Structure 1
Amino acid sequence: MALAPELSVGEVARRSGLAVSTLHFYESKGLIASRRTGGNQRRYMRGVLRRIAIIRIAQRAGIPLEEIKQTFAAIPPDRAPSIREWERAMCRWTETLQQRIDDLTDLRDKLFNCIGCGCLSVTQCPLRNRDDKLAAEGPGPRILITAAERRRRKRTG
């Protein structure tokens, strides 16, 4: 029994586990595409299921939809990416994901000593900013930002 080459919006929603409204949203953002039948019903090529899976995994990893869209820009929206296209996308995302991993690991390691007492005033706390001396360097969590910037420069050489 041959599979139909196209799926209705309801079938895509059921197979992907997404709400129909989410599929419409993805389509409005140019992440997926459908064609319209004579009765104005959406029809999706089967490859859209793989594309949706990639979008969901990327979102779960914290990659913004705009970055996903840019990555998919070279791939026609009515089909799944080829292995080569997928590898190119992963090369783009690898650096972003590694930076997030490094930042989260650094945050976890630096916050560990503070969790026990609930304050940032202990002498050995790596986030301590006595007398707000770091305010002169700029806004935000300067210690964490500075450490992340050092790691980034070290990797890019």
Structure 2
Amino acid sequence: MAALPQQGLTIGDLAARTGLAVSAIRFYETHGILAPLRNEGGHRRYARSDIRRISFVIAAQRLGFPLAEIAEHLAHLPPHKALSKADWQRISTAFGQEIDRRIADLQRLRARLDGCIGCGCLSLENCHLYNPDDAAAAGGPGPQRAYHD
């Protein structure tokens, strides 16, 4: 590995700047999110751009994106330098599409729940959540799910 100048950030510096534990930073390394260089003494040194990279990971995780998916997006980007506006735009567009899909799924779920609250349909003939297309009817009359759950 190439050596990074002594002035690169130490793992402690990176932890202090990002609010993460040192163990979390090492965990991100094992997933390929960070790739520190080593100084002449063999100590990890991080680029200042790694602060932004970690901030992105934290934000993406808070939005519910799995670490593997985040790492996949970052794997195609240049390490040890700030990402370009085009890089961030590409990732942002992909994440935005996924967020839009999740919102649509949640809106469909909410619409279906509104129809079920208080309806008391024990036969589940019309329930879009538990009995789509009345599949439970094949089991016989009455609340089939209640009998078998």
Deviation larger for 89-98 or 126-135: 126-135
Match among 102, 114, 118 for residue 104 of structure 2 = 102
**Is residue 9 of structure 1 aligned with residue 2 of structure 2?**
no
Q: CA deviation at 1:59?
A: 1.3
Match among 73, 85, 88 for residue 86 of structure 1 = 88
Could you say if the C-alpha distance between residues 116 and 30 of structure 1 is closer, same or farther in structure 2, counting changes exceeding 3 Å?
same
**Partner residue, 1:154:** none
Between the aligned partners of 1:132 and 1:22, the Cα distance in structure 2 is 47
Which amino acid is 1:56 matched to? I
Map residues 107-146 of structure 1 onto 2, 5 A cutoff: 107-114=109-116, 121=122, 126-127=128-129, 129=131, 132-133=136-137
Between the aligned partners of 2:22 and 2:130, the Cα distance in structure 1 is 48
Which amino acid is 2:136 matched to? D
Identify unmatched segments of 5+ residues in structure 2: 1-5, 140-149
Identity across aligned pairs (percent)? 40
Which amino acid is 2:25 matched to? L
Q: CA deviation at 1:126?
A: 4.3
**Partner residue, 1:21:** 23
Map residues 37-116 of structure 1 onto 2, 5 A cutoff: 37-114=39-116
TM-score by structure 1 length? 0.69
Which amino acid is 2:96 matched to? T
Instruction: Give aligned pairs, total.
Output: 131
Which amino acid is 1:19 matched to? A
Between the aligned partners of 1:69 and 1:7, the Cα distance in structure 2 is 21
Between the aligned partners of 2:91 and 2:138, the Cα distance in structure 1 is 38
Between the aligned partners of 2:77 and 2:87, the Cα distance in structure 1 is 7
Between the aligned partners of 1:25 and 1:120, the Cα distance in structure 2 is 49
